[in-house]
Every structure is written in structure tokens, then in C-alpha cells.
Structure 1
Amino acid sequence: MPAVVAVTAVAVGTAVFMATVPQYRDWFDVYVYYGAVDTWIRHGGGIYDYVRPGTGYGFTYPPFAAVCMLPMLVLGRTAAVMGSVVLNAAASAVLLRRLLGGLLRGPGAWVVAGCLFVMLEPVRDTFSLGQVNLALMALVYADRGRGRFAGVGIGLATAVKLTPGIFIGYLLLTGRRRAAAVAAGTAAAATLIGVAAAPHESWVFWTQALWNTDRVGTLDYVSNQSLQGTLARLDAGRPAWALAVLAVLALWGYRVRQAAAAGDDAAGLALTGLAGCLVSPVTWVHHLVWALPAVVWLAAAGRRAAAAVLYVVLCSSVVWLWREDASGVDGFLGGSAYVWICLGLLALWPRLPAPDRAAHLQATARPADRRP
């Protein structure tokens, strides 16, 4: 009975939080997706010609992503929103299973984990925008570069949205060359499907739209929690950003090799998600779902106090306090809070002693991964 009361209290608390705290985004992105494919298929326009009325925002993904979104036209706008919610819920279930499958026991624990998951700002924004990040992340984590179809999920995610391509680099760094080749080949094949379906639009994307960051908003907007966003808010130039990216990639490579030497795939994947958030030119708050496995890893590795603090910050929407003015020391620190979290985790990643590491691996392995 105490367990039932505790689970009920968490569920009620989550419902109150979700009803009173978050800012909801009114399915903004899923309407952009729908408008772009509708313009392309039904009205003879270009995928990248569409701009949502009253805004400057249009479709930013490769044409293959638009091909994947064609079923929305059959469903209609309202059903497309519902489909987005269902897809994100299914992706969340996959991710919770992959990240927590060895840690949770009983339905009550899964209910609590689900409640805690949806309260995270990147997750709730992904749902309310109708974004694709959770689905792509589920593809990557279902794949992990292991198993019969190793690399296929990572390749498909990369073809839909280029940023998951950093996980191909992860496969190379950890010596999984065959999986990396499969991922790269899958991404190339999917991209060619996009070229075949929309040759002109493919040309527009690869020569124009990909390089036009103004299509997704201004780089110095406080929601951009990447290195580029922080430096843009400081009016730093591109050379500074390039040097920062190279430094982060070098640190990422070093940390990943450490994790690989320890046989800790969970840490390697989490570190790669952190690096991807940092080096991408644009990392909106909802893109930070890629950083969440690092918090799970800390908790699983026994760093529960640190994980709890990071969890609270990632639920807090703190960066929006500097939405209007991110100048000054407080704006520099608070307006880029999620950048500092990602950098701090990457730089200070705890290396577990051998006994703790073995226990961690035992806890985080999926049942199918364990040897009898």
C-alpha cells in the first residue's frame, strides 16, 4: 500500500506540474512539416518554399525527411498531430526501456519513471512542438551499433536529420567499422531516395537551405543551447566557434575512448549525445533530449545527488529567464545553463573504479545482453 500511495502521489504531482508550469508550443513544428509536404505534393510548390504564416520558419530537414512525412497528408492536420503524440509516446517507451530496463522493477517503478521523464523540459517541448528528436533518438538507441542490423537505425536517423551522424563517428572511435559502414551506407541510400523523389528540392537543400540558419531562427536566441548559441550571444565570430568545436570534439574522442576501454557502451553513447548538442550550430532546448542519457548514467553509476540536481535544472526552464536580455554575467551563466551542463558533464565525466564499473554494467544491461 505505501508503494501505491507513493506512485499515486508522483502521478498527481506530475499532472499538477504539467498543467501549471510548462509553456506549450501548440504543435508548431508538426504544422510546419504538414505545410511543407502539403505545398510540395498538393500545390506543386517546393518543400523549402513553405513558410508558416506569420513567422519566418520553414522546413529545415533533408528531402528524405519530407518523404517519411508524406503519410500526414493522408491523415490530415488534426490526425497528424495525434500521430505525432503517439509516435513520441512510443519512442519514449523504447528509450525508457533501453536506458532503464535493467534498473526498474514492477509497474509502479515504470509509472514513476514515465512521470519523471515527461516533466523534463526537452521532452515536454518535443511533445508540444510535434518534434522528431525522440523518434530519432529511439532509432539510435535501438541500434547502438550492435546486433544483426547494426548501423541501420543510426543511418536512418542521420538521413532524416543530419546531427545524429555524430554517432557514426562514435562507431568508428569504438572500432565498429562494419556498423559504421552500414550506418553511412544506409544514410546515403536514404538520401538518394530523397533525391529520386525530389531532385530539385535536394539541390536546394544541399546548396542553400542547409547553410541558411536564419530559416530556423537567430543563432543568439536563448533557446539555442549550443556552443554557437553561447558565442553568438557574446558576439564572437565564426573562428571562435570553430576552435571551440574542435576542442569539444577532441575531448569527446578522448572520453569515448576511455569509455570503450572500460567496456561501457552506455557512457559512450551518453557522451556522444552531449557532444552532438554542443557542436551543432543550433541546439534548441527540445534538442537536449540527446543529453538526457548522461543524467541517467550518473544516477545508475551512483552519482545520484548530481543527477538529481541536473534533473531539477532540466525541468526548470531556467534559461527562459533571460529570454529578453542575455547580457551581463548573469545572462552569460544563466542564459546558457544547459551549455554549461553539457560541457561540465563532458569535461568532468566520472571514471568508475573497476568494481563499481562492473556493477554499473550489470545494472544497465538489458536482459537480452546478459550472459546466463
Structure 2
Amino acid sequence: MIFRSKAFVVVAAIAVAVFLATVPTFRHFFDLGVYRGAVHYWLIDGGDLYDYRYQGTEYGFTYPPFAGLAMSPLAITSWPVAVAASVVLNCVAVILLIRWYFVPILQSRGWPVWTPCALMFLGFLVFEPSRDTFSYGQVNLLLLVLVGSDLRNKRFAGVGIGLAAAIKLTPVIFIGYLILARRYRAAATAAITCAAVTILALLVAPDASRAFWTDAVWDTSRIGRLYYVSNQSLRGVLARLDAPSMWWLAGVALIVAYWCWWVRTRQPGPAAGFAVTGVVACLISPITWVHHLVWLIPGLFLLLDRTLRTRDRRLLATLGAGFVLMSSSIVWIWWAHPHGWPAFPGSNTYVWLSIAVFLTLTREKTRIGEYAEKS
């Protein structure tokens, strides 16, 4: 049995390698190139951090100045070393996520650990949001680990969220979750941490801080086109329909109201609360690129645990189908023509899946996911 399991992992690894080599979705570490080029231009060449554009494109640095300080070692790092560091850090992040969310599922049922974990690691390489995070050289998995660490850091809960929010604005929503969940000490810790490192960036880099908070943060054209098919948020759906912004605001208000009601009345465990908040962030953000959808991963693990606990075959089949869809790059079929009602069902596939995860996670009244808090 052990031999067969190892052989199966080898066969699966070969299949994944063939998939990664043949599916034309490798991103050539584009975002890592933006990070590295921007901090080099800023710290070595003496330019403005937010004036930089990568290789003649419209894309430049879009994160707060503290993120630039955190990435400053890239300014003196060669390209091969930068790529290697990005891959290693993302691998570490995946291993931690598997340890936190998947290993307890296996151990609680007395199942073997190593072979399923090896297969799960391969699954991360296939799953498009994490696959894109690797191939873009993105930081999403690292931010997810920072936020997730607050589930296990009882003494300094909030520090991870505060640091993540100072690096990228999206995790700020988790401070809102802590307030809704009446975890006021953790919320204060997160807010103080975020403010402290942001002030540190202001003291170290006042010009960059002024440029970001007074101009760059409000300039959505720096990030990309709202209607681009990679934008799998509600705003992207409506932009591809050329619908009024009021529809998006109404949708955001509906989702946020339901999320607030769910947290306050159902009082979910922190693992479930964090998972649902990550999905909400993806749905309501003006731009949610496909690689941002790694925030769905904790929720998917909780649904896997629920499936095994209840032996719900329909949910298991749905999870499997969802994994296949989100590994297939299906939305890119409409990359050239994402507009209008004909493209509406397919070009927004990942949005529909995000909504399905959101509704399924919030449907059950019992506290789910406590195992993830104790691992």
C-alpha cells in the first residue's frame, strides 16, 4: 500500500508537471518584476516609487509605501535570486496552509498524512489562484499566511492582520471582522500595528507616502481595466455589462449587510469567520484578479472538513467540480470579448463560485472549523 501511494504521488507529480508545461498560463513573474523594478528605481536610481512603469507598460507599484520598504531587498537582488526567493516563500506559505488547515482534517480521522499532503501540495500548483500567485511572483499567499497566523497567535492576535493591511489594503476588512466579532483587543492590536508601520513608512519615505495617500491610492487606472476578464469581483461583472456603478454599490451593500448580520447573530468560530471574510473581500473589492482568489482557500478547506464530517456526497462532488473549474482557466476563453450578456455566464465563472462558497459557508448554524484554530 505504501509503495502504491508513493507511486501514485509520482504519477500525479508527472501529470502536474505536464499540465504546467503545456497550459499557456505562465505569467513570467510579471508582478515580481514590477516590485523589483519599482524599488530599484526608487532606492537605487532615486526616482519616485509611484512614477515607475514596468518595461514600458502601464503597470507600476500600487501598494502602500510600507510594502515598498518590506520589499526593499529586491533592489539589490539579481533576477534569478529574486525568482528563487519568491518561489521558496510561496512554497513555505503553501506548506503552512496545508499544516494549518489540511493536516488536522487527516489527523482527526486517523488518516495517513504524508501522501495526502503531497497530493494537496500538487493541487495548489494546479489551482489557478495559487498557480498564478506562483507564476506572477505575487504576495497573496504570504498575506493569507499573515492573516491566518492570527488564528493561532492568541497573545498577539491582530499583529498579522495589521502587517498585512499595511502591505496591501484588502486585509483591512479583517479588522472590521474582529470588531463585528467583538474581539476588540485583537482589532485594536491590528489597527495599532497597521498605523504604526504606516507612520514608520511616512517617517522613512515622506515623499512616497504623500504620493500614495494623496494620489496613487485613488487612481484605479494604475491597477488595470475593470472589465478585464481577470477581474473576478462583482465590480468586474458589472463593468463587463457596462452597468451603472450604483448596481455595484447596491450589491456590495447587500453582501456586507448579510456578512455583518451573520457574524453578529450566528457568532461563528474564528476560523469560519476569517474564511467567510476572505470571500467577502474578493466579492466586494473593485478589482479581484484571479490570483487574489487565494482568499477562498481557507473556506474551501472548511467545506472539505464539513463534507467529510457529514458524508455529503453532493457537496463533495460540487467541491471537486469547483476545483476543476478553478484550475481550468475557463474565464480566459472570453479574454478578448468579455462584454455583454453572451459572455455573462462564462466570463464570470469564478465570481459565481465565490458566491457559492460564501452562501454555503454561511448556511450552517453550527460552529464550523474549530480544528483550524487549535492546530
Scaled to the shorter chain, the TM-score interval is over 0.9
Q: In the TM superposition, what is the alpha-carbon distance from 1:22 to its structure 2 partner?
A: 4.5
Q: In the TM superposition, what is the alpha-carbon distance from 1:254 to its structure 2 partner?
A: 2.6
Alpha carbons 1:145, 1:180 under 8 Å: kept: no
After the TM superposition, which of the residue ranges 176-185 and 79-88 deviates more from structure 2? 79-88
Match of 1:133 among 132, 140, 150: 140
Per-residue CA deviation, residues 97-151 of structure 1 (Å, 9 max, x unaligned), is 1221202332111101101111100111111111110000010111137511100
Distance 1:166 1:221 in 2: 24
Per-residue CA deviation, residues 342-362 of structure 1 (Å, 9 max, x unaligned), is 1222234364475xx6xx646
Change (3 A) 1:192 1:60: same
CA-atom RMSD in angstroms: 1.8
- The equivalent of 2:16 in structure 1 is 14
Distance 1:93 1:330 in 2: 40
Per-residue CA deviation, residues 287-343 of structure 1 (Å, 9 max, x unaligned), is 110112222221110132221111111101010011011234341111111111112
Alpha carbons 2:272, 2:361 under 8 Å: kept: no
Distance 2:233 2:306 in 1: 26
Match of 1:349 among 347, 361, 368: 361
Distance 2:335 2:139 in 1: 24
Distance 1:169 1:352 in 2: 22
Helix, strand or coil: the match of 1:57? coil
- The equivalent of 1:281 in structure 2 is 286
Alpha carbons 1:259, 1:267 under 8 Å: kept: no
Helix, strand or coil: the match of 2:16? helix
Q: Could you tell me which runs of 5 or more consecutive residues in structure 2 were left unpaired when the two chains were aligned.
A: 107-111, 308-314
Alpha carbons 1:226, 1:283 under 8 Å: kept: yes
Alpha carbons 1:145, 1:151 under 8 Å: kept: no
Alpha carbons 2:272, 2:369 under 8 Å: kept: no
Distance 2:365 2:48 in 1: 55
The answer to whether the aligner puts 1:210 opposite 2:222 as a matched pair is no
Alpha carbons 1:39, 1:50 under 8 Å: kept: yes
Alpha carbons 1:296, 1:307 under 8 Å: kept: no
- The equivalent of 2:302 in structure 1 is 297
Amino acid at match of 2:71: M
Helix, strand or coil: the match of 1:53? helix
- The equivalent of 2:244 in structure 1 is 237
Distance 1:257 1:146 in 2: 23
Distance 1:258 1:93 in 2: 34
Match of 1:48 among 30, 47, 50: 50
The answer to whether the aligner puts 1:120 opposite 2:127 as a matched pair is yes
Distance 1:325 1:147 in 2: 48
- The equivalent of 1:24 in structure 2 is 26
- The equivalent of 2:78 in structure 1 is 76
Amino acid at match of 1:298: L
- The equivalent of 2:333 in structure 1 is 321
Alpha carbons 1:98, 1:142 under 8 Å: kept: no
Distance 1:22 1:99 in 2: 30
Change (3 A) 1:320 1:275: same
Match of 1:338 among 337, 350, 358: 350
Q: How many residues align?
A: 361
- The equivalent of 1:161 in structure 2 is 168
Alpha carbons 2:235, 2:286 under 8 Å: kept: yes
- The equivalent of 2:311 in structure 1 is none
Alpha carbons 1:168, 1:180 under 8 Å: kept: yes
TM-score (structure 2 length as normaliser): 0.91
Match of 2:156 among 144, 149, 158: 149
Distance 1:206 1:110 in 2: 42
Change (3 A) 1:4 1:201: same
After the TM superposition, which of the residue ranges 334-343 and 101-110 deviates more from structure 2? 101-110
Alpha carbons 1:251, 1:346 under 8 Å: kept: no
The aligned runs of 1:80-91 (5 Å cut-off) are 80-91=82-93
- The equivalent of 1:187 in structure 2 is 194
Helix, strand or coil: the match of 2:55? coil
Identity %: 46
Q: Could you tell me which runs of 5 or more consecutive residues in structure 1 were left unpaired when the two chains were aligned.
A: none
Helix, strand or coil: the match of 1:295? helix
Distance 2:296 2:191 in 1: 23
